Amino acid sequence: MITVSVKWQKELFKDVELDMTQPPYVFKCQLFDLTGVPPERQKIMVKGGLLKDDADWSTLGVKAGQKLMMMGTADEIVKSPEKGTVFVEDLPEEEQVIAVGHTAGLFNLGNTCYMNSTLQCLHSVPELKSALIKYSHSGRSNDVDQTSHMLTIATRDLFNELDKSVKPVAPMQFWMVLRKKYPQFGQLHNGVFMQQDAEECWAQLLYTLSQSLRSPGSSENPDDAVKALFGIELSSRVHCHESSEESSETESVYSLKCHISHEVNHLHEGLKHGLKSELEKASPALGRSAIFLKESCINALPRYLTVQFVRFFWKRESNQKAKILRKVGYPLVLDVYDFCSENLRKKLESPRQILRNEEGKKFGLKVSEKSSVDKNSDAQMPDAEGSSNGGGDPSIAPMEEGEKETQMTGIYDLVAVLTHKGRSADSGHYVGWVKQENGKWIEYDDDNPKPRVEDDITKLSGGGDWHMAYIIMYKARVVSV
């Protein structure tokens, strides 16, 4: 072992130990510790040229006290981060929600998955949450009963809690008020709360909110926030083949029905069946009851289109709601143009052409010169999607404050699926599958949210004992004007 000095740039390192029994690469590693220059970048001048990693020291004539010259650039010194590492669990809860990418799950309080799945699907509607926040400022209206007011407040508070939490939330207050308002959800069997039908919970909750969230105004035409978001106006022709009697009627519903039979394999076919029905009622012309055929079409579209798969029917033998397991496919993008009235179809033509043109541009396609858009129209694709008001012009969607006026196109994107697993509506298990604002899907299985992909969603069409779609919700594609 000898010592040498090494000159590198303006620095001179004295008494550097050199073990001549070790290969030169070991010496280069020592110099790396001193200078920060990696061995592969070091150029050390010795007798005969540059020092190689595997050279034999005995042939190089290096002596004790000798000065060696080294060239090479040091690695940049890694600076410690200005901010220390912050773990997700150390963030404030509201920031955790953003980091995780989804909101909290809901604890099952005892066969309450029907309620949890319903709440998660409706919680995904930002306009509904906005209406609930406004309700806190307006307060209870005189024509809203106390329990409806309490249920609306409980819904608002629960949605607010879900938005601010990543940890599971116990919806105890909401459940207590729901049972008070609708005692059927408090039914007991052997001291245990019974499973209930999620569709009944969905329908009852929307009905209550529709009563509470009406803005003060004319009693004949109140501003109904729920009807604006979910209301579907149907125009029906009712006629009797036997007597040739005919009448027309309009009604507003919160969901379309997909009827399931051996002929139905897809949602489109089921909706077609659902818009036709037979009624038995009194016929003034015949002086007795007769069969009337009711044929309906959509006359005004909602911002959020809800479809219920009619999977359950009352089975007398078992005295319970039995389930139709038949597989019925449904699309991620639904076009309801074929189910609309002639009047509504005409009003959808221009917005649909605008939408086609804009989507064509995205793919670099040439825009069709033949367009049904009015030359004076300044309609364009919106930066943010609008909402439907279920009133006035059926193709015009109303805006929130500061939002552009929008028009419906009749095209919808799937945003939520409520599934049922089991053989009866009053047993089994309900789960909510919700598309987040970032485009990702989350399966809300009570208090255990799990990320999913689109392929998982399309597999919920039935045909076995796996989860199958019972209620699905679509969001309208709109264009702004």
Cα–Cα distance between 29 and 393 in angstroms, integer? 80
CB 68 within 8 A of CB 5: yes
Catalytic residue among 239, 266, 273, 429: 429
**Closest CA relative to residue 381, chosen from 361, 395, 364, 363:** 361
Nearest 10 degrees: CA dihedral of 328, 334, 337, 339?
Answer: 30
Helix/strand/coil percentages in the chain, nearest 5: 30, 30, 40
Angular region, 139: left φ>0, alpha ψ -120 to 50, beta rest: left
Q: Is 273 among the catalytic positions?
A: no
- 34 vs 168: CA distance, rounded Å: 54
CA atoms 396, 400, 405, 410: torsion sign: negative
Q: How many CB atoms lie within 10 A of CB 288?
A: 9
Residue 214: strand pairing partners = 224
> Please, are residues 435 and 415 in contact by the beta-carbon 8 Å criterion?
yes
Is residue 241 annotated as a catalytic residue, yes or no?
no
Residue of 102, 113, 123, 149 with catalytic role: 113
Question: Residue 287, SS3?
Answer: coil
Shortest CA distance to 198 belongs to which of 475, 467, 478, 480? 467
Residues carrying an active site annotation: 113, 429
